[in-house]
Chains A and B, each alone.
Chain A
Amino acid sequence: MLSVVARVVAMTIKELIQLRRDRLTFGMILGVPVMQLLIFGYAINADPKQLPTVLISQDRGQIERNIVGALERSGYFRIVAQVSGETEAERLVAEGAAAFVVTIPDRFTRDLLRGERPQLLIEADATDPAATSNAVAALSQLPRTALRHDLPGLVAEPGFEVVIHRRYNPEGLSAYNIVPGLLGVILTMTMVLMTSLAVTRETERGTMENLLAMPLNPAEVMAGKVLPYIVIGYIQVAVVLLAARFLFQVPMLGSLGLLTVALLAFLLANLAVGLTFSAIARNQLQAMQMTFFFFLPSILLSGFMFPFRGMPG
């Protein structure tokens, strides 16, 4: 029994010594939780509030102010612009500057006072349903809370109707957001990991020494390392796009040619990160840890896991 303890203690001491020697792993053990805490704590918010909202009001007055006030009080909406036309509003949503467009139609006050239950139109950018769903849910309270103070008893509750349009993704399918996002996740993960391991493997197995002794310069070694992964990257893209189209019924609306060109920049950036890691890492384990270190914040902050709108500006 005593010897079991002695052997376990011997192993434990050896592990601790090795851990201390491997500065990088040691740093990771301390650094990763701190990083996770900071990122999770500050940047990640599954219930994003203060979403940028554009107001189109064709009926200025007290009722408009009440509705805007109620929207802002809910905490989910922040009026960032007031525009006169729909084209302007559309542009702001398409650019991502606004997540909602609130339209108060002409004669809203009149219809309200007549008890005709006018419609308030709210258009939501539903590309990422998770980002806007809570805000949309909060809208159901709007007709009751908006007019409580100014027109108590004057209007039959609910005095107006909220019509919600989910732009870009009317059925609120999360696949529309997840599947294209996966393209980025898969590419980042494989490109960075594969290249960081590819070079480190040569160093670790001693084959790098041989490569350098042969008529081959470092740039040629790197080019030869990166080239196959560019091809693999494009194969992955093709697989994801085909799966998106035929398994998840995600339509491809943009230009395939533009995507192909833009992806090359994305692939090269990731491969460059991988090569950098492989130059710093002394073995494959370290390269893998660095990849993880890079991958974790990049995926957590990309808007793929948690809504981008919830992160601090």
Chain B
Amino acid sequence: MTPLAIDVEGLTKRFSGRAVVDKVSLKVPAGEVWGFLGPNGSGKTTTIRMLCGLLKPDGGRGTCLGLDILAEADAIKRQVGYMTQRFSFYEDLTVRENLDFVARLYALPDRRRQVEATMDRVGLASRRSQLAGSLSGGWKQRLALAACMMHAPKLLLLDEPTAGVDPQARREFWAEIHALARDGVTVLVSTHYMDEAERCDRIAYIAYGRLLAVGTVKEVVAGADLSTWIATGPGRDDVARRLARVPGVATAVFGPSLHVSATDPTVLRRAIEPFRGDPRLAWREAEPSLEDVFIHLIESATAAREKAA
């Protein structure tokens, strides 16, 4: 059995009494790439910060790279690479100066050569003397990635690394992630992009601080046990509006199409029945997409919370 890079149980964090992360348990085998998905404010960043030893959990226990997240936070910091959501390097330092600073902090041997090698590896060599603040979004993200992997961490925690980055740069970024994974690095990357979720070995979906689904994309889609119908045509917005109030049914408009999903096929059939005769719409049953599953997950979680409150 492969060792676990992340093995936490019941991880909980409260901010002023409110549980931002609520009993999250994760077992990430070494060498896998995991996608961490969930709406804004669902607790992704807080979870990642607890994993890398930045934040002390209020409850739960576990290890990162075999190190206890409560007792050995400092050791974890030395062995984990954490890329913050916001660009957090010095905009008034050059690319090389930023990397040199990080190399010094980690007391890397043969610092100069390491910095050069890192710049070569991520293609920043020609921009070594450019101020980090003047880099475009994609290059900033590369610099940040370069900085957090320079000390050769065995675990990378990347918090929305591709937010605001163009598709080309995202593709190259993911190529780099997979290259790292081939070298045995474990990667946990939070994202809002469905296509990025599909590039991961496994995904974890979190909402309101709770993990709602864990597994491969296929497993998560299958696990939701969702039925989906797609309506295409000019009347889709009307239908979406009227179906929005139906309990147990989730809707999402994708361009010309409307996706309607529910766990109970009979509920779904009954809900769409009044609109089946609409001559402006063409209906067909379809496999639910990952996004349909996420919309369903968040909507049922919201409904459950409202019911509880």
B82 touches A215 (CB 8 A): no
B88 touches A210 (CB 8 A): yes
The answer to the question of A209 belonging to the interface, with a C-beta cut-off of 8 Å to chain B, is: yes
A299, B74: Cα distance in complex, Å = 43
B84 touches A206 (CB 8 A): yes
A205 touches B106 (CB 8 A): no
The answer to the question of A207 belonging to the interface, with a C-beta cut-off of 8 Å to chain B, is: yes
- Given known A-B contacts A212-B54, A215-B77, A205 and B88 have beta carbons under 8 A apart: yes
A213 touches B106 (CB 8 A): no
Q: Name the one of B84, B86, B90, B91 contacting A213, with C-beta atoms under 8 angstroms.
A: B84
B89 touches A210 (CB 8 A): yes
A215 touches B106 (CB 8 A): yes
B52 touches A213 (CB 8 A): yes
Q: Which of under 10, 10 to 19, 20 to 34, or 35 or more describes the interface residues of B? A: 10 to 19
The answer to the question of A137 belonging to the interface, with a C-beta cut-off of 8 Å to chain B, is: no
Q: Name the one of B77, B86, B90, B91 contacting A214, with C-beta atoms under 8 angstroms.
A: B77
| Chain A nearest CB, measured from B89 CB (Å) | 7
The answer to the question of B4 belonging to the interface, with a C-beta cut-off of 8 Å to chain A, is: no
A207 touches B88 (CB 8 A): yes
A214, B87: Cα distance in complex, Å = 15
The answer to the question of B1 belonging to the interface, with a C-beta cut-off of 8 Å to chain A, is: no
- Given known A-B contacts A212-B54, A215-B106, A205 and B91 have beta carbons under 8 A apart: yes
For B53, give the chain A residue with the smallest CB separation: A213
A284, B102: Cα distance in complex, Å = 24
B84 touches A209 (CB 8 A): yes
When each residue 51-64 of chain B gets 1 if its CB lies under 8 Å from chain A and 0 otherwise, what string results?
01110000000000
| Chain A nearest CB, measured from B101 CB (Å) | 10
- Given known A-B contacts A213-B82, A215-B77, A207 and B89 have beta carbons under 8 A apart: yes
A214 touches B84 (CB 8 A): no
A217, B105: Cα distance in complex, Å = 11
A28, B102: Cα distance in complex, Å = 39
**When A and B form their complex, what is the total count of cross-chain residue pairs whose Cβ atoms lie within 8 Å?**
36
| Chain A nearest CB, measured from B65 CB (Å) | 14
| Chain B nearest CB, measured from A210 CB (Å) | 4
When each residue 111-144 of chain B gets 1 if its CB lies under 8 Å from chain A and 0 otherwise, what string results?
0000000000000000000000000000000000
For A216, give the chain B residue with the smallest CB separation: B105
A206 touches B88 (CB 8 A): yes
For B102, give the chain A residue with the smallest CB separation: A214
- Given known A-B contacts A212-B54, A214-B77, A206 and B86 have beta carbons under 8 A apart: yes
For B81, give the chain A residue with the smallest CB separation: A213
A215 touches B84 (CB 8 A): no
The answer to the question of B14 belonging to the interface, with a C-beta cut-off of 8 Å to chain A, is: no
The answer to the question of B78 belonging to the interface, with a C-beta cut-off of 8 Å to chain A, is: yes
For A213, give the chain B residue with the smallest CB separation: B82
Q: Name the one of B88, B91, B105 contacting A215, with C-beta atoms under 8 angstroms.
A: B105
When each residue 26-44 of chain A gets 1 if its CB lies under 8 Å from chain B and 0 otherwise, what string results?
0000000000000000000
For A212, give the chain B residue with the smallest CB separation: B54
Neighbouring A residues of B54 by C-beta, 8 Å? 209, 212-213
A205, B98: Cα distance in complex, Å = 15
Neighbouring B residues of A215 by C-beta, 8 Å? 74, 77-78, 105-106
Q: Name the one of B53, B77, B87 contacting A206, with C-beta atoms under 8 angstroms.
A: B87
Neighbouring B residues of A208 by C-beta, 8 Å? 88
For B106, give the chain A residue with the smallest CB separation: A215
- Given known A-B contacts A205-B91, A215-B74, A215-B78, A210 and B106 have beta carbons under 8 A apart: no
When each residue 35-55 of chain B gets 1 if its CB lies under 8 Å from chain A and 0 otherwise, what string results?
000000000000000001110
When each residue 173-215 of chain A gets 1 if its CB lies under 8 Å from chain B and 0 otherwise, what string results?
0000000000000000000000000000000011111101111
A214 touches B105 (CB 8 A): yes
Within 8 A of A (CB), among B1-60: 52-54
A215, B86: Cα distance in complex, Å = 19
Within 8 A of A (CB), among B205-259: none
A215, B104: Cα distance in complex, Å = 10
Max chain B C-beta neighbours (<10 A), residue from A207, A213, A214, A215: A213
When each residue 64-94 of chain B gets 1 if its CB lies under 8 Å from chain A and 0 otherwise, what string results?
0000000000100110001010111111000
Between A and B, 21 residue pairs with Cβ closer than 8 Å are A205-B88, A205-B91, A206-B84, A206-B87, A209-B54, A209-B84, A209-B86, A210-B82, A210-B84, A210-B88, A210-B89, A213-B53, A213-B54, A213-B77, A213-B82, A214-B102, A214-B106, A215-B78, A215-B105, A215-B106, A216-B105
Other than the given A205-B91, A213-B84, A214-B102, 7 more pairs (CB < 8 A) read: A206-B86, A207-B88, A209-B88, A210-B88, A213-B54, A213-B82, A214-B77
